[in-house]
Amino acid sequence: MTEKKNSNTMWGGRFGSGPATIMEQINASVDFDWQLYAHDIAGSRAHAEMLVVQGIISAEDGTRIAEGLNTILAEIENGTFEFSRSLEDIHMNIEARLATLIGDAAGRLHTARSRNDQVATDFKLYVRAAIDRIDALLADYQSALADKAVKFAGTVMPGFTHLQSAQPVTFGHHCLAYVEMAARDRGRFQDARKRLNESPLGAAALAGTSFPIDRDMTATALGFDRPAANSLDAVADRDFVLESLAAASITAIHLSRYAEELVLWSTPQFGFIRLSDQFSTGSSIMPQKRNPDAAELVRAKTGRIAGALTSLMIVMKGLPLAYSKDMQEDKEPAFDAFANIELALKAMTGMVTDLEPDVKAMKRAAGAGFATATDLADWIVRVLGKPFREAHHITGELVAMAEGLNLPLHRLTIEDMQSIEPAITDDIFSVLTVASSVKSRASLGGTAPANVRKQAKKWQTKLAREAAKRN
C-alpha cells in the first residue's frame, strides 16, 4: 500500500492528503538547492523592504521578517539549521522556519511573489556570483601564464601541427596563446553576466501581480540593472544558465587542451617540463612513477562540465511557457559544473606556477624534424626572388636530401644545397638555426622573443590593475 502523509501546510487548502513517499523523494530538491540559501534570504529581504515601502505590509511585520531572516542566515551558516525534505526546497524550508520564529508575520512575506520568480531570482544571483568567482580565477590563471611567458620569452621549443614538429616557437609564446584563450573565456562570462542581470522578482507565478509593487526597487537592491520586462519570460528563462554553462564548457575545453600538453610534455619521451610534487602522484607498485594526475583530472572535468550544458539543453528544449517542474533539474548539474570549473582553474593555475621547463630538452626538440624548413623557403623567396611555390619545391628536395643523409638541414654543405639550387649562397646558414628562426618571426603576434616579452609584460600590467580593483 502506498504511504500517504498529512496535507502539506504550504498548500494544504487544496489537498486532502500529503504526497506519497516516492513523490516526496522525486519532488524534493533541498538536498542540493540549499546552496541558494544566502541568495534566497537576500531576495526575501529586498522583497520585504519593498512591501513595507509600498504599504503592502506593515513596518512592524517588515522588521520581524528581517530579524527572522537574519536569525535563519546565522543558523544555516553555523550549522544548526534543520533542513526537511518534506518541505521540498530551500525556499519552503526557510519560510517554515520563519513562521516558527515570528508567527503570522512570516506568511505576509510571500505576498506578491511566487516560488517561480523567487527561484529564478535566487538562481540568477547564484550564477552571477559564480561568474564573478570564475572571472577572478581566470585572471589568476592568466597571471601565472604571463609570468612564465616573461621568464621564458626566449626559450625555444618546437611548435606543432598535427602533433608533428612544424616551426620553432618559444615557450613564452606558447604560454601567451593560453592567456589569449582565457581572455576570450572571460569575455564570454562577462557577456553572459550582462544579459542575466535583469531581475525576475515581481513577475510572480507568470502573469505579474495586482499588488502595487516596485520592481525597480527590488532590482536595485539586489544589484540587477533592471527588472525583466516580461513576466512569462522572467520565470521561464534559463538562458542565463545555459549561456554560463556554455562559457564554462569552452573554458574547460581550453583547460583540457593545456592539460593534455602538460601530460605529454611531462613524459620521459618529451621531457619538456617537470610538474612539482604538489601536483603529481606516485604509483602503488612502480616506485619510479611521477603521474600528472592533476592535469589528467582537469582534462576529465570537461566531460562533467559539458555534460551539464547538454543536460540542461535537453531539459529545456520542449518546455512550453511558463514554468514546469522539469526546471528543477536545472540546478544540480549547474552547481556541479561551476564547482568543477573553479576547481580545475585553481589546479591549472597551481600547475603553471610550479612547473619548470627543461630548456635544453626543448631546444633539442625545436631543431628536430627539419623545423627550419620554412625559414629556408622564405630565404629563397626573399633573397633569390623565387615564387614561394617554387621555393617550397626546392626546400622539399633539400629536406629529402637531408633526411637521406640523416642530417639536420644546417649540416648540409653548401655544395649539397647548390646541387639542388645553384643560386644558394653561404648566407642561407644564417636562417637555419632555431634561434634565428624565432628571432625572425617579428610580425604582429609572432613568436620573436622581443614580441613575446613585450606582450607578456603588457598582460602583467593589465592583470595587476584588475587585481588591484578587485581587492
Kindly list the catalytic residues.
162, 283
CA distance 127 to 352: 27
Closest CA to 131 of 345, 351, 307: 345
Spatial contact of 410 and 437, defined as CB atoms under 8 Å apart: no
Which DSSP symbol is given to 408? Answer: -
CA distance 394 to 163: 25
CA distance 191 to 173: 27
* 322: preceding bond cis by omega (within 30 degrees): yes
Rounded to 5 degrees, φ, ψ at 224 are -85, 155
3-class DSSP state of 227: strand
Q: What's the start-to-end Cα distance of the chain, in Å?
A: 60
Q: Are strands 198-199 and 164-170 parallel, antiparallel or unpaired?
A: unpaired
Kindly report the three-state secondary structure assignment for every residue of 53-112.
HCCCCCHHHHHHHHHHHHHHHHHHHCCCCCCCHHHCCHHHHHHHHHHHHHHHHHHHCCCC
Looking at 17-64, which runs of residues are DSSP E strands? none
CA distance 150 to 457: 7
